[in-house]
Structure 1
Amino acid sequence: MSVVEISGSGEGPYGVAAAGGEVWVTLVHAGAVLRLNGDATQRYELDAPESRPTVIAAAADGGVWFTRNGDDHLGRIDAAGNISRIGIAGSPYGVCVGPDGAVWCTLMSTDQVARITPDGDVTTYPIGIAGAFPAMITATDELWFTLNQGNAIGRITTAGAVTTYPLPTEAAGPVGISAGPEAVWFVELQADQAGRIGADGKIEEFPLPAGSKPHAVVATADGGCWITLWGSGSLARLDASGAVVQQTELGEGSEPHGLAVDADGSVWVALENGSLAHIHAEE
């Protein structure tokens, strides 16, 4: 494992995206985004220090989309480094590129999911559960998202039809979610569990170490996943059966949040202490 210091104290590395040999990281407390390519680092200062860039997703053209949770915008940096934004009220948080080529994001404070076209047109869809607090979102041929306070997994078609699936464990606090080859993985921060939901809506839950507080998850091609354990300062790898097969300690006080799997199978993890960790599967 290698650890790179990427920001000053208190800037808060949070979301990570890896694509095309580059790694992008949001600095949630600094109103900035970093772009790393080998030993070169480019820092993009946003137009508002209070914008709170949070979750970030790679775009097909080599740029990225990211939510600005602090000032109700969806941010964009293209491959050439041009910065733009689109206003979306409702505390946007999770973001992903959908199967329809549009960008989708969750709106935490209004219990909605938003669809943004390449031209910047915004359409919002109500979830139908008050106070559900939609968090992260992922894409298959549809969109799946966690309802942190609604204690459920949501599913929305590209036409805007919503279905919700209550979790078996009460007050589980789901946050991260990621689509795998056969099913969708998610994590339950308050219940110290990972979960998996199939296209038929069947939910399975798998125990994680007590007090680990899983935060983000990325599914892998072998049917398993990687999970950041925010409470225990570590990274876990689960196989397709839901068993923990690898756990990497990231250091006391590291506070791991977002993660991304690179093309070579290695994992990048944003640590709130100001670092970026790079882990290979065999480590």
Structure 2
Amino acid sequence: MSHTEISGPGEGPYGVAIVAGEVWTTLVHAGAIVRSSRSSQERYDLGAPAARPMVITAGTDGVWFTRSGDDQVGRIDASGNISAIAVPGAPYGICVGPDNALWCTLMSTDQVARITVLGEVTTYPIGVAGGFPAMITASSGELWFTLNQGNVIGRMTTTGEVTTYPLPTSGAGPVGISAGPDAVWFVELQADQAGRIGADGKIEEFPLPPGSKPHAVVATADGGCWITLWGSGSLARLDASGTVVEVLELGEGSEPHGLAVDTDGSVWVALENGSLAHIHAGE
């Protein structure tokens, strides 16, 4: 396991995306984005210290990221140009949808927004008041998202039709979500559990170490997933049956948040203490 310093104290590496072999990381407390390669780093200052860039994803023509502090979705294109599109209400999770548009959750307005590369914004209600939509992913032609305060998993068609699935555990506080080959994985921060939901709406829950407070999840091609355990400063790997097969300590006070799986199977994790952790298989 290697650690790469990418920010100063208190700048808060948060979201991670991999584009063409480079790692992009949001600095939530600094209003900046960092692009890292094996030989160099480049920092993009958004010119708005209170922007709070959060979740980042590879999209058409560059990277897209949510700015929860100033109600915008940002983009850095392939030439390094920075732009932003206004959205109505604290954007957080973001993904590329099945229609190749960008989709993001709007935490403070209980909506999901669809954004085109031309900057056209369409919003859809999630149908749960005070639901606090968090992360979002695309699977089987639809969007899936967690409702952190609603304690449900939401499912939306590209025309805005919503189905909700209540979680078996009350007060679970779901956050991260990621589409796998056969089902959608999610994590329950308050319940110290991972969850999985199939296309039929069936939900399974799997225990994680007590006090681990899982935050983000990335599904893997073998049907399992990787999960950041924010509360315990570690990273867990689950197999396709939901069994925890590996827990890696990332360091006391590391506060892991977003993660991404590279093409070689290695994992990049943003640590709020100021660095990126890079874990290869077998470490």
TM-score by length of 1: 0.99
Question: What is the letter of the counterpart of residue 98 of structure 2?
Answer: P
Q: Do the aligned residues in 2 keep the contact of 1:14 with 1:28 (CA within 8 Å)? A: yes
Distance 1:89 1:34 in 2: 26
* Structure 1 counterpart of 2:113: 114
Question: Residue by residue, what CA displacement relative to the aligned partner does 1:45-67 show, whole Å, maximum 9, x if unpaired?
Answer: 00211000000001143x10000
Counterparts of residues 177-216 of structure 1 (less than 5 Å): 177-216=177-216
Question: What is the letter of the counterpart of residue 89 of structure 1?
Answer: P
Distance 1:198 1:115 in 2: 24
3-state SS of paired residue (1:58): strand
Distance 1:281 1:197 in 2: 26
Distance 2:81 2:42 in 1: 12
**Percent identity of paired positions between Structure 1 and Structure 2:** 80
**In the alignment, is residue 254 of structure 1 matched against residue 268 of structure 2?**
no
Distance 1:208 1:182 in 2: 21
Query: What value does the CA root-mean-square deviation take over the aligned residues?
Result: 0.6
Question: What is the letter of the counterpart of residue 222 of structure 2?
Answer: D
Counterparts of residues 235-274 of structure 1 (less than 5 Å): 235-274=235-274
**In the alignment, is residue 132 of structure 1 matched against residue 140 of structure 2?**
no
Distance 1:73 1:179 in 2: 25
After TM superposition, give the deviation of residue 276 of structure 1 in Å: 0.4
After TM superposition, give the deviation of residue 181 of structure 1 in Å: 0.3
Question: What is the letter of the counterpart of residue 82 of structure 1?
Answer: N
Distance 1:226 1:30 in 2: 27
* Structure 2 counterpart of 1:12: 12
3-state SS of paired residue (1:49): coil
Question: What is the letter of the counterpart of residue 33 of structure 1?
Answer: I
Distance 2:19 2:265 in 1: 12
Counterparts of residues 153-172 of structure 1 (less than 5 Å): 153-172=153-172
TM-score by length of 2: 0.99
Q: Do the aligned residues in 1 keep the contact of 2:60 with 2:117 (CA within 8 Å)? A: no
Question: What is the letter of the counterpart of residue 78 of structure 2?
Answer: A
Distance 1:79 1:236 in 2: 33
* Structure 2 counterpart of 1:87: 86
Question: What is the letter of the counterpart of residue 48 of structure 1?
Answer: A
Question: Residue by residue, what CA displacement relative to the aligned partner does 1:179-222 show, whole Å, maximum 9, x if unpaired?
Answer: 00000000000000000000000000000000000000000000
Question: Residue by residue, what CA displacement relative to the aligned partner does 1:49-97 show, whole Å, maximum 9, x if unpaired?
Answer: 1000000001143x10000000000000011111000000210000000
Distance 2:76 2:38 in 1: 19
Distance 2:281 2:183 in 1: 21
After TM superposition, give the deviation of residue 37 of structure 1 in Å: 1.5
Aligned pairs, how many? 282
Question: Residue by residue, what CA displacement relative to the aligned partner does 1:10-58 show, whole Å, maximum 9, x if unpaired?
Answer: 0000000012101000000000000011121010000211000000001
Distance 2:274 2:116 in 1: 34
Question: What is the letter of the counterpart of residue 27 of structure 2?
Answer: L
3-state SS of paired residue (1:245): strand
Distance 1:41 1:147 in 2: 35
Counterparts of residues 7-156 of structure 1 (less than 5 Å): 7-61=7-61, 63-140=62-139, 141-156=141-156
Question: Residue by residue, what CA displacement relative to the aligned partner does 1:71-125 show, whole Å, maximum 9, x if unpaired?
Answer: 0000000111110000002100000000101000000000000001121110000
Structure 2: state its 5+ residue gaps: none
Q: Do the aligned residues in 1 keep the contact of 2:59 with 2:102 (CA within 8 Å)? A: no
Q: Do the aligned residues in 2 keep the contact of 1:19 with 1:262 (CA within 8 Å)? A: no
Question: What is the letter of the counterpart of residue 93 of structure 2?
Answer: G
* Structure 2 counterpart of 1:223: 223
Distance 1:79 1:117 in 2: 17
Distance 1:19 1:154 in 2: 28
Q: Do the aligned residues in 2 keep the contact of 1:19 with 1:263 (CA within 8 Å)? A: no
Question: What is the letter of the counterpart of residue 226 of structure 1?
Answer: W
Structure 1: state its 5+ residue gaps: none
